Amino acid sequence: MHLQSTDQLGNTIQIDFPPKRIVSLVPSQTEFLFDIGLDAEVVGVTRFCIHPADKLQRKIKIGGTKKFDIEKIKSLNPDLIIGNKEENYREGIEELVKHFPVWMSDIYSPADSFNMMREVGKIVNKQNEAQSIITEIKKGIEGFAEISKQAYSCAYFIWRKPYMVAANNTFINAMLEVFGVVNMFDEQQRYPEINPALLAELNPDFIFLSSEPYSFSEKHFEEFQALAPKAKVVLVDGEMFSWYGSRLRFVPAYFAKLRSELKL
């Protein structure tokens, strides 16, 4: 049986339904596949796919998200590959499309993530399981939205040398809004490199140092405190701000705890 699906880039693909051999090129979507009950069906994942750890030990690693091993993927003979526009590289995806059905996500908001989970659940024959997760996340986020918020400002760093932040038109920016702070760089797009002098000029209330993709730690606090002496420098869990799959279930509790620690 064949199923037709349109992905979030507008591409229409034909899939053998239900797919029996799935390769996931995105960590957050890999976790979602396992959480809706696909274990044996997932045959290949990236080396950055870390959840759920116990099940991933038995899966074939096909390289990174930006430089996956196309020949290894071919050897797995998948009947479905799931990727993402931002996290994967175009040339590799274009090559895979020549050989296999590739469903691509393109996510900038929680609503986009719900649409991804709903459609992926449909094409892997796990609609009820996917909807259950979506409902749980929506309830949590809506409940968190009722928390009283004040307009504190924030700069969210994803990299150093060069300094890079999350700006507008990113999922992180949408999650900062859910958290209840104003992104100081929301007038810029995507992940701009910034001049340290600009950070000092903007003088944010908070500097969030993400645990990924750059592995920020407390040893970097002094460096950023010197750039913006009035800001409170905070290490945050990057998964809670940038993973757009079923990990979103843990966001409300994490955000509430973080807001409490920051006395917001």
pLDDT digits (tens, 9 = 90+) for 168-215: 999 999 999 999 999 999 999 999 999 999 998 999 999 999 999 999
**Cα Rg for the chain, rounded, in angstroms?**
19
Q: Do residues 83 and 25 touch, judged by C-beta distance below 8 A? A: yes
The reply to whether 137 and 250 lie within a common domain is no
From 118, 141, 164, the end of a domain falls on: 141
Name 45's bridge partners: 61
Q: Report if residue 65 sits inside a domain.
A: yes
The reply to whether 115 and 178 lie within a common domain is no
Q: What is the mean pLDDT of residues 224-242?
A: 96
Q: Report if residue 28 sits inside a domain.
A: yes
Number of domains in the chain: 2
Q: Report if residue 146 sits inside a domain.
A: no
Model pTM score: 0.94
CATH code for position 161:
3.40.50.1980
Q: Report if residue 119 sits inside a domain.
A: yes
Q: Report if residue 48 sits inside a domain.
A: yes
Q: Report if residue 14 sits inside a domain.
A: yes
Q: Report if residue 147 sits inside a domain.
A: no
Residue 145 clears pLDDT 80, i.e. is over it: no
Q: What is the mean pLDDT of residues 145-154?
A: 77
Structure tokens belonging to residue 161: 């040398």
The reply to whether 17 and 136 lie within a common domain is yes
From 97, 118, 141, the end of a domain falls on: 141
The reply to whether 206 and 133 lie within a common domain is no
The reply to whether 31 and 160 lie within a common domain is no
Q: What is the mean pLDDT of residues 65-84?
A: 96
pLDDT confidence of residue 148 = 60
d(CA 247, CA 249): 5
The reply to whether 11 and 93 lie within a common domain is yes
The reply to whether 11 and 46 lie within a common domain is yes
From 141, 174, 195, the end of a domain falls on: 141
| String of DSSP letters for the chain | -EEEEE-TTS-EEEEESS-SSEEE--HHHHHHHHHTT-STTEEEE-TT--SSHHHHTTSEE-B-SSSB-HHHHHHH--SEEEEETTTS-HHHHHHHHTTS-EEEE--SSHHHHHHHHHHHHHHTT-HHHHHHHHHHHHHHHHHHHTS----EEEEEEEETTTTEE--BSSHHHHHHHHHTEEETTTTSBSS-B--HHHHHHH--SEEEEESSSS---GGGHHHHHHHSTTSEEEEE-HHHHH--SGGGGGHHHHHHHHHHHTT-
Q: Side-chain half-sphere of 112: how many Cα atoms within 13 Å? A: 21
The reply to whether 17 and 113 lie within a common domain is yes
The reply to whether 98 and 10 lie within a common domain is yes
The reply to whether 132 and 14 lie within a common domain is yes
Domain of 217 in residue numbering reads as: 152-261
pLDDT digits (tens, 9 = 90+) for 93-125: 999 999 999 999 999 999 999 999 999 999 999
The reply to whether 177 and 89 lie within a common domain is no
The reply to whether 130 and 64 lie within a common domain is yes
